[in-house]
Chains A and B, each alone.
Chain A
Amino acid sequence: MKCPLETREERVLVAYSSRTLDGGDKELLEAHLQSCSACREFVRGQREVWEALDGWEAAPVSADFDRRLYARMQREVSWWQRMRGRMGLVPVYRALLPVTTLAALVLAAVLLERPSPPRVPPQPVTAQVEGLQPDQVVHALDEMEVLDQFNHMMKPDSSTPRM
């Protein structure tokens, strides 16, 4: 094996130092290390870095991490819940969705058929929920179902730190 330091193949030495060099490459390098003090020195330095990094422990995750996460997820859907309340939607809304979507499309088609109406048409009742797409509502309903499951899973006494 040619000296990795001379052939600019130091990566082999880095891999060896981090113990990710396997098989034949490892044997070849180990044979080379017997006779090359420069490479031995390089590996020694890299191994020191590796060991120094080993000493760096990370702190345990806060015990309330999951609770905070689920609370954030809950907050995200509560907006939809409020919106649903304001619109007076009942749980069968989802079943009616294709119908309402179709109605919206028909209304749009009718409006497009008459590009310049002589007077301003009455505002559709859905104007107050501008930007609320039917699929978003379904999405929010799905979220709520999943979050209901989370609420069952979350136990109030999860006070042990998580490692």
Chain B
Amino acid sequence: MAGVLGTSIKRREDPALITGRGKYTDDLLVEGMAHAAIVRSPYAHARIRGIDTSAAKTYPGVVAVLTARDVAAAGIPGMVPVGWLLPDLKTPAHPMIAADTVRHVGDAVAVVVAEDRYVARDAAERVAVDYEPLDAVADVVAALEDGAPAVHDDAPGNVAFDWEIGEKDPVDAAFAQAAHTVELDLRNNRLIPHAIEPRAALASYDSSTGVMTIHMTSQNPHVHRLLMTLASLGMPEHKVRIVAPEVGGGFGSKIHHYADEAIVGLCSLKLDRPVKWTATRTETNLTDAHGRDHSTHCAMAFDGDGRITGLRVDTKAAMGAYLSTFAPAVPTYLYGTLMSGQYDIPAIHCHVTGVFTHTAPVDAYRGAGRPEATFVVERLMHLAGEATGLGPIEVRKRNFVPADAFPYQTQVALAYDSGNYGPAMDRALEMIGYDDLCREQASRRGNGNGNGRRQMGIGFSSYIEACGLAPSAVVGSLGAQAGQWESADVRVHPTGSVTVYTGSSSHGQGHETTFSQIVADRLGVAPEAVEVIHGDTDLVQFGMGTYGSRSAAVGGSAIAGSVDKIIEKGKKIAAHLLEAAAEDLEYEDGSFRVAGSPDRALGLGDVALQAYLAHNYPDDLEPGLSATTFYDPANFTYPFGTHVCVVEVDTETGSIELLRYAAVDDVGNVINPMIVDGQLHGGLAQGIGQALWENAVYDDSGQLVSGSLMDYALPKIHNLIPFELDRTTTPCPHNPLGVKGVGEAGAIASPPAVVNAVVDALKPFGVTHIDMPLTPEKVWRAVNAD
């Protein structure tokens, strides 16, 4: 249907969700269902001397209490695997249930199954675990020091991996000859994902068929099935069905395969009855894979004209107690490879040490590596504006990869397919009214009394994103244990309506709406005539899921591919019926037409019906009108943009107020502007949250101090301001839709924009850096530091 692509049609998902009719995992009730409560370590590091389950087992209403012994007795692999291998990666065992040692607060030591969830909790408190507490280390820097407590005996020095990209010697040479250099020591703060819906699983094993069905909070059911069967439960894949019903957000945290869902599976297997577990908020905070947690030294070198000549980055990246599913990829191939940003940098070297700590694992969280890289590059560019005297705009423009230099090969593996960076920045400057802001800032700076207390700052972030990790052969050569394509099965029914089966399993993004728009546009049907099915391994052939801003670019392209195949086949059928040559047929607005004879036409429904009747049909054609595509992209896609943040800082208290936030993003062709804006709003809230409020803090003994929402500050609506959004459009040249991706852009771009703005406001006080989150106390101390 013409005009449906690029239109803000309303999300078809919303009526059910906003009237409370969406069915999430915890809403599902199954006959005979029991409830699990997982007993977790209160210590960051301890030896388990013994577990006495007798009081729990005899507690009224308890069905069973299982420990590591039961995992062993079940004869299953019982492990939680890592899905991305780097050279020389240390892969210490991660048992589903800790057998002799716990390695972070929240590590599972036992599970209680009871007739109701209250009883399960009560009984869980009666499992007596005899712990011998051991020294722990929670900090990524401290974990590398001599004599630090070892997280794993088979990972000496707590080093999980030592990785580098780029060439060191040219960088050293660039620094030796530099006219200007800037450098920074920074911490990228640890974040807790906080999907609104906590993780949950309902496992139903049926011994009469040998089939296990697990409904769970998953961003990628097929990946979960693979890891669950291979490493944890040891069941054959065809006997396991994973279903993701409504999933209330994930931000990456529901990509990973955790111990908990496997434990629930084991309970059901052993008891031959359905078992449900829903994490409490406290449990998700202790066990969901966290994000970020880097300690970084970085420096940039410039020639006399302010052109970048070299970039040097050395990062210690926390892995937590165990390697989570994609953890090793995040601070390496999703981080080091992004170090060129929007700039033409002739020499880059990035060294990363992956570090075990006695904390929750760290893995992909909205942006995954790319926010950390963007923070490094854009903080350095801010400092460079000062050091070179060019200011934040000119120093960036002078170094942008020129529009005529694409495709552009960076020094860190990625080849940017397309881009046009100047116009996005110009538009952002225009929107924000940069010159007026500078005048306002100058007047506040000049004013020593009264108003001088409230300083104003303007911060920029010109970011690059790489979405839709691809192609499979390349990511495989980099260590991925999975492909990075996506599948789509598009079926046209005999009446001409359409069902799409996609491997991109949505967890709130609105795939059902946008994917229906893709089909509607390409096939010339109404969006309402398209049903989109996802999130069930029994219904969808195979799929890689939703993460890394990949669904439109990879999942959408797979759908487009199937639609194209259907049109091709439909032309053959129509040609037969219209007694024309297939080459002479055109497809437009839902009709097959003979070129030049507009009255010789057949609608999609007519052709579809004939395809299923196959009475009057080409001899060499199979009946039916459906097509499957496994789309493996040729490259990543590279969205980009410039964001500008304006803040006011109360220098007396250190409080920060957001005044303006303008973002110009280029995400390629846009399918649904409202959904794109929504993704940006959410991403911006998360990125601003990281910059100003959010912080996962462990104390020296490895206790999570910010384990509840009373201490962990998520952004709330009254903390934020209306965002001013606009776009430029540079279509992706290598996928059929020209789309790039938008899921993470806001979270990637915004932290440095905010921090740069605050540092800019505090320039009169000589402040050059404050680590995130910029709490009032930190800002106040920076203002008052000698």
**Physical interaction between A and B:** no
Q: List residues of chain B with CB under 8 Å of any chain A CB.
A: none
